[in-house]
Each structure stands twice: as structure tokens, then as C-alpha cells.
Amino acid sequence: MSVQALIGKKIGTTEVFRESGEVVAVTAVKLGPCFVSQVKTTDADGYDSVQLGFEEVSSLNNPMSGHLGRSGKLLRYLREVQEEEVGVVTVGQEFNVSIFSEGDLVNATGFSKGKGFAGGVKRHGFRGGPKTHGQSDRHRAPGSIGAGTTPGRVIKGHKMAGHLGNARVTVKNLEVVHTDSEKHILFVKGSVPGARNSLVLISRTNRKGHSG
């Protein structure tokens, strides 16, 4: 029995060769080891889940040290993952990259790179205004953002300039190309959200991918 997801950190991108000779662009993730810091059940908490901890540290504040006391580890990052069979998972139990194997399909969840304030052209792909006929100041303007009297306001969710990036993103169905259990590294085909050394959550899917 193993959990459905693990916490890790994005290392970067590289290329690997399959046995067939095909070259594949992959993202390397340092995945785990993760330790169970808490088990939540329907009877006690209203739902079933497992709280995992990642990256051991030498010291933490008193509340966190007390919370992690039963696990026997001081862990920097905590995340909850859904788990149906919580009865077979125990506090302090360790899980590592070996729960995944070549050919599995996984979801990668992280925070995209933050790029600060951006206009409509960069943030949403607007084409901009006309370049001639006296429109010298409308090249990258968004255009109309709503009517006047009715409704007399800007509708919520309207695409406008604002903060670009630094949003929670999930990339689904990434193929596991290779795993390195000794170094706790997972190689997945394609890109993973976030910058180098950013935290990512790698979770299982119910699909099966390439196995060659």
C-alpha cells in the first residue's frame, strides 16, 4: 500500500534516451522521501486524507515541533493528499520515489513563475488597437471594459492588466520516463510548473502511459 502523491522540488530540464533510441525532453524532480505526519479519518475529521512532510530540518518552532512529534521527524513542508485506505497508513511511515514506475502517468501541481504586473497583450494575448488613423496611444490598450449606464461597472472576471503568474497550476498526464531510487529523482516527459527549486506535488492518475 502506498500514498497517491508525493512532495518534491523541481530540479530542471534535460534529455534522456529510451531503449529504442528515441530522445525525450524531460523534467527532473527530487521527489521525497516523504513521511506521514498525520492521518485524518472520516470519524475524527469528517474526511479521509494523509498529511505528508518533506525535507527534514534541524529545528522548528514549538507548535510545529509538537504537531510533528509523533512522526519522529522535523519537516519543512506539509501537504495533504486524498487517500481512501487510510487504515493501512501509519504516522511516521516513509514513502519515496519507488511508488512510481516507468510508464506511469502523473499530475504535477505547483506555482507558475511570477512575472509581476503585465498588460493585456502579454497577460491575455490581446492584439492591441489600430496603429494608424490617429490612434497613436492605443497600440497596447485593452479597449472597452464595459457599458456605461447598464450595468455601470466592470464585470467581475473581466480580462484586464494585472499580476501575471504565481498561480497554482496542474499539468496532467505526464509520463514517467525514469526513476532513480538512490538519488530520489523522478524524470517526467514534458514540463512541470514553477522555477527551479520550487515545490511540486506529483500525484497518480488512473491512466497508463508509454512503457517502452
Q: What is the pLDDT of residues 156-178, one digit of tens each?
A: 999 999 999 999 999 999 999 99
Task: List pLDDT tens digits, range 129-141.
Answer: 888 888 888 889 9
Q: Which of 211, 144, 196, 188 is nearest to 26 (CA)?
A: 188
Bridge partner list, 109:
170, 201
Residue 99 has pLDDT above 70, yes or no: yes
Instruction: Residue 201: count other Cβ atoms within 10 Å of its Cβ.
Output: 22
The CA–CA distances, whole Å, from 82 to 34, 49, 61, 110, 165 equal: 15, 4, 27, 17, 26
State the pLDDT confidence band at 207, using cuts at 50, 70 and 90: low
Instruction: Work out the percent of the chain whose per-residue pLDDT is above 90.
Output: 58
Task: List pLDDT tens digits, range 78-87.
Answer: 999 888 777 7
pTM of the model: 0.82
State the pLDDT confidence band at 208, using cuts at 50, 70 and 90: low
To the question of domain 5-115+168-208 being in CATH 2.40.30.10, the answer is yes
Cβ-based burial of 209 (10 A; exposed 0-12, middle 13-18, buried ≥19): middle
Domain map (residue ranges) of the chain: 5-115+168-208, 118-164
Bridge partner list, 5:
203
Task: List pLDDT tens digits, range 14-65.
Answer: 999 988 888 999 999 999 899 999 888 888 888 888 999 999 889 889 999 9
Place of cell 523534467: 27
Question: Which letter, b or e, does each residue of 77-116 get, where b requires 16 or more Cβ atoms within 10 Å of its Cβ?
Answer: ebbebebeebeebebebebbbebbeeebbbebbbbeeeee
Residue type, 91: V
